[in-house]
Amino acid sequence: MGLELFTNTTIQSLFVLGSGILGFIIGALVYSRDVRKVDGISFFILAWAFSMWAILLGLFESVGAGNLEYFFLNTMYIFASIIPPAVLFFATALSSGKKVPFSWQKILIAVASFVLMSFVVLSPGFLFKIIESSNTAAKEIIFGQGIFIFIFYISWYVVMSLIVLFEKYKKSAGIFKKEIQYIFLSILACAVFILFANLVLPYFGFYDFFWIGPAIGLLTAGVIGYLIIKYNFWSLKLAATDLFTSLISLTLLFELTLYSSKTDLAIKILILALVLLAGFFLVRSVRNEIENKEEVEKLAKELADVNTNLHRLDEQKSKFVAVSAHHLRDPLTAIRGYSSLILEGSFGELSVATKEAMNRISESSKRLVVIINDFMDIAKIESGKMDYVFSKVDLKKIVTDMMNEMTLAAKESGLELGFEFDETQNYRVNIDEGKIRQVVSNLVDNSIKYTPNGSVKICLRKKSDGNILLSVVDTGIGMNPETVKKIFHKFSRADEASKFHTGGSGLGLYVAKEILKKHDGRIWAESSGLGKGSIFNLELKEA
């Protein structure tokens, strides 16, 4: 077929041809996203029928004269007859997944109606005849009585399709309900425009608007394709890349028909091959990027779910610890009370062995109370229910009072307990007195426990920046660098600690660190190594 046959080519006819080609590309792109889903297959069939109709309409308007006009016109109306059943098939298949929505009986009815309509189209003079017009850019088509059968045929399928979509709309929910709503409105608007522009207006002698039907059909195909991709959670970015690559390749393919020499043709073929290759790698890279992003998002969601579950378990653990500790305190109080009365002789004289055993019971119950208090403090800290009552207090007075309580324990361990401070300095700080007393007492008590011989010294001084520094210096077992890093973590103890004191829980220093955080202070430890003693430092801001 030579180009000289297309003597009536106009901008409108070229636009209609382009609409058909683009419609086919959109259908192919949607279908390529998942070739197994029936809704993608049905949309491709619909887009293919529309594309053939638009392309044949454009060819009919472009050819000069002769038998080709009748061939293109007859074929165009045959493909136009395919569009209504294709719309119904798409409406029925929508959101049905991989399940075929039609029975063989319904398919046979659709095929029979299409065959019947083909006889209507092909009957000479029954549906139309062509008359060339000199007053219009488009060709005049004089319709016969068969046009009413054709309009009824199209309208019946469109109405049935809209009924199917409406039923799906009522039964669906969420985003799929919104998808069906938009598709319903798009098909309704498209059917009205095409019927009006390509059948009703030509019937009354208005032929220049033949391009409106393909334009609206292309727009509808684009909208429905977008909705299918979006609401089936496919990648719009990948679809856009596919469309962009396809349009460039199609343009270059058309350029091959306009070569001026063999050299020009070879160059254009080479450019097309390079573009196709680059397009392939571009689409693949975009697909890989999207798949990697989806995998990362999936892993992030799984991690967030695990994190949420861990937080929930942590909260349940804290509640369990708090409740358990609370219920353990009551019997321990009774044990301590009765053991104290027994040691005082309230229940009679004790033998040496019995008194020694009661002393062990009393000391163990005291240690157990300390551990339970630590557990309760942790539960309060982690749940955010630890209460603080701040006031301006002299830190020196707290240490002095505490020295009176610790001196006896130090003497029993054979240690010298000292306190160094500058009488001329002010050591007032804004603190929760009870909490800081607990922290300092814990530091001194630890130093006494883990110092076999020598001394424990408390140093209080004011730094150059005005902060108050309290240091507990001992000549005890010391720590290696790894131990210094971990002892303020929950349930962490020095590796050598269990040799000297087995009753520790590894919670006291963690609680101390959390309390200091609420005071905008800090706590840390220093040691020159094993056997070289330790220094525990506590820094607070001056009031």
Residue 426 burial (CB count, 10 A): 13
**Tokens, residue 146:** 């068969």
| Nearest 10 degrees: Cα torsion 329, 335, 340, 343 | -160
CA-CA distance, 93 to 174, in Å (whole number)? 19
How large is the average pLDDT for residues 6-18?
80
- One-letter amino acid at 73 equals L
Look at residue 134 and tell me whether its pLDDT is greater than 70: no
Question: Which is it for the CA torsion 421, 423, 425, 431, positive or negative?
Answer: positive
Asked if 362 and 336 count as a contact pair (C-beta separation under 8 A), the reply is yes
Q: Read off the DSSP letter of residue 472.
A: E
**Tokens, residue 472:** 């507990």
- Of the candidates 409, 400, 325, the residue with the CA atom closest to the CA atom of residue 368: 325
pLDDT tens across 324-380, in order?
666 777 787 788 787 888 878 887 888 888 888 888 887 777 777 777 777 777 777
Query: Which positions ≥6 away from 371 have C-beta within 8 Å?
Result: 503, 505, 507
pLDDT tens across 239-275, in order?
566 667 766 766 776 676 666 777 877 887 788 788 7
How large is the average pLDDT for residues 196-211?
84
pLDDT tens across 266-305, in order?
887 788 788 778 877 776 776 677 667 778 888 888 888 8
CA-CA distance, 358 to 367, in Å (whole number)? 14
pLDDT tens across 296-330, in order?
888 888 888 888 888 887 777 767 766 766 677 77
Predicted TM-score (pTM) of this structure:
0.48
**Coil/strand/helix, residue 458:** strand
**Which H or E run contains 525?**
strand 522-527
Look at residue 430 and tell me whether its pLDDT is greater than 90: yes
3-state secondary structure 109-169: HHHHHHHHHHHHHHCCCCCEEEECCCCCCCCEEEECCHHHHHHHHHHHHHHHHHHHHHHHH
pLDDT tens across 94-109, in order?
866 555 555 556 666 6
| β-pair type (415-420, 454-462) | parallel
| Selection from 119-128, 381-390, 449-458, 494-503 with the highest mean pLDDT | 449-458
Lowest mean per-residue pLDDT among 265-279, 315-329, 391-405, 480-494: 315-329
In this prediction, residue 474 carries a pLDDT of: 95
CA-CA distance, 482 to 333, in Å (whole number)? 38
How large is the average pLDDT for residues 131-158?
78
Look at residue 496 and tell me whether its pLDDT is greater than 70: no
Confidence of residue 232 (pLDDT cuts 50, 70, 90): low
Phi-psi region of 244 (alpha: psi -120 to 50; beta: other; left: phi over 0): alpha
In this prediction, residue 523 carries a pLDDT of: 93
CA-CA distance, 32 to 41, in Å (whole number)? 9
Confidence of residue 29 (pLDDT cuts 50, 70, 90): confident
In this prediction, residue 181 carries a pLDDT of: 87
Look at residue 461 and tell me whether its pLDDT is greater than 50: yes
Residue 67: alpha-carbon gap to chain centroid: 60
In DSSP notation, 279-311 reads HHHHHHHHHHHHHHHHHHHHHHHHHHHHHHHHH
| β-pair type (128-131, 534-540) | unpaired
In the numeric block, the tokens 């401070």 are attached to: 421
Query: Which positions ≥6 away from 160 have C-beta within 8 Å?
Result: 88
Task: Provide, rounded to the nearest whole percent, the portion of the chain with pLDDT above 90.
Answer: 16
Asked if 187 and 146 count as a contact pair (C-beta separation under 8 A), the reply is no
Look at residue 183 and tell me whether its pLDDT is greater than 60: yes
Look at residue 235 and tell me whether its pLDDT is greater than 60: no
The residue among 474 and 18 whose pLDDT is bigger is 474
Note the maximum CA span of the chain: 135
In this prediction, residue 238 carries a pLDDT of: 58
